[in-house]
Structure 1
Amino acid sequence: MRIIGVTGGVGSGKSAVLNYLEEHFDSRVVKADEVGHMLMMPGRECYEPVISLFGEWVVKDDTSLDRSAIASIVFDNPEMLKKLDDIVHPEVKKYILREIERSKKEETEFFFIEAALLLEEKYDEICDEIWYIYCEKEVRMERLRRDRGYSDEKIRKLMENQLPDEVFEERCDFQLYNDEDVAHTYLQIERKMRTYYESV
């Protein structure tokens, strides 16, 4: 089984790429962000530690955590963000490592890990290679405005907190250009995936 990490700036369209891979190849896709949300659910590994960090007021009436309230706290507070990351990220990685082993037993051909902080959290150490999804900054900004309703200020802050393109380009094995032309994106994926089958 080939383990491939997928990363890229916010709004670069990673989900569209991963959806295509999941639909057209024998692959398992795990998104670190979704795993983090799951592990913060009642009864899961991060639930009680997060309450201890922020206080009972972040618990909603249905006992789930108010993630929007938590996000508003950490957005402008790097110290609290680090404390939250120190709770969630190690548990996410443990979960993903377990899922890798499970997928190996199921003889899945490809295992894709998607994470915004893929390099920062050292996922490259457990991946066979890293893909970088690249998209022009202006296109990313327009996507975030249109699809997520983000303000320019929020977009600017999110982009400032991510590694510069040069770091991704230097440390990633494959760069996929994901502009507005989805046919071009899919063609690049097909060409890349074909190289794996040709090398067997």
Structure 2
Amino acid sequence: MRILGITGGIGAGKTTVTQMFVRLGADAVDADQISHEIMLPNGSAYFPVVHAFGKNILNADGTIHRKKLADIVFQNEKQLQLLNQITHGCIFEEMQRRIDRSKASLLCLDVPLLFSSDFPIRCDKTLAVIAPENCRIQRVMQRDSCTRKQAEQRICRQLSDTEFTALADFCIVNDGSAEKIWEQVKNVYQIMME
């Protein structure tokens, strides 16, 4: 099995690109999805996160209110580091379990912090998804129901497109054209399957 690490800034289109690889026959493991799962009331990070950030981040049903938590961590670097310390180990363990179960020839790991965390899983190649900043801001505002300022704060805490491009083996530009993205994905898929 070959492993392709897919990364990029918030709102760049990593999930869209990953889903295209899946349509071609790859398997996928999504770090953001796992992050959501581990913070559910029965998840491995739930109690440590509630202990660290307080019960004021909870909804009435006891689930973590992700927007309240995001408002805390994206305005304070130390709080973001604390959240990452709590969750990253849990995320990496679950990712490894899913990798071990996969039988696919190509496995895509959708990992936003692939280059900016101590990511312990070896990837054969890496791919950065980049997009114009204004497109990213609009996508984040729409997806996360946040203000422009909040979207900009999240974006500025991540690597720039230039940094992602310099670190990755491949780069896909997501400027909104599904056909162009699809062609780029097919090209990378063919290379990975050689």
Residues of 1 paired with 2:113 and 2:48: CA distance? 21
Match of 1:118 in 2: 114
Residues of 1 paired with 2:68 and 2:145: CA distance? 17
TM alignment of 1:62-81, pairs within 5 A: 62-81=61-80
**1:184/1:124 Cα in 2 relative to 1: closer, same or farther (>3 Å)?**
farther
Residues of 1 paired with 2:121 and 2:93: CA distance? 14
Pair 1:139-2:144 in alignment: no
Contact 1:12–1:134 at 8 Å: present in 2 too?
Answer: yes
Offset at 1:184?
0.9
Match of 1:193 in 2: 189
**1:129/1:37 Cα in 2 relative to 1: closer, same or farther (>3 Å)?**
same
Pair 1:11-2:24 in alignment: no
Match of 1:2 in 2: 2
**1:177/1:78 Cα in 2 relative to 1: closer, same or farther (>3 Å)?**
same
Residues of 2 paired with 1:89 and 1:111: CA distance? 20
Structure 2: which 5+ runs fail to align? none
- CA deviations 1:136-159 (Å, max 9, x no partner) are 223323333455444221122112
Residues of 2 paired with 1:164 and 1:141: CA distance? 14
Match of 1:168 in 2: 164
- Name the SS for the 1:123 alignment partner: coil
Residues of 2 paired with 1:98 and 1:125: CA distance? 11
Residues of 2 paired with 1:74 and 1:68: CA distance? 10
Pair 1:43-2:39 in alignment: no
Match of 1:109 in 2: 105
Contact 1:118–1:124 at 8 Å: present in 2 too?
Answer: no
**1:147/1:68 Cα in 2 relative to 1: closer, same or farther (>3 Å)?**
closer
Q: TM-score, normalised by structure 2?
A: 0.90
Amino acid aligned to 1:117:
L
> RMSD of the alignment, in Å?
1.8
Structure 1: which 5+ runs fail to align? none
**1:186/1:110 Cα in 2 relative to 1: closer, same or farther (>3 Å)?**
same
- Name the SS for the 2:184 alignment partner: helix
- Name the SS for the 2:94 alignment partner: helix
Percent of pairs with identical residues: 27
Amino acid aligned to 2:164:
F
Amino acid aligned to 1:115:
V
Offset at 1:35?
0.5
- Name the SS for the 2:5 alignment partner: strand
Match among 154, 159, 162 for residue 155 of structure 2: 159
Amino acid aligned to 1:92:
I
Structure with bigger gyration radius: 1
Q: TM-score, normalised by structure 1?
A: 0.88
Amino acid aligned to 1:193:
Y
Residues of 1 paired with 2:42 and 2:135: CA distance? 40
- CA deviations 1:134-184 (Å, max 9, x no partner) are 212233233334554442211221121011222212210001111121101
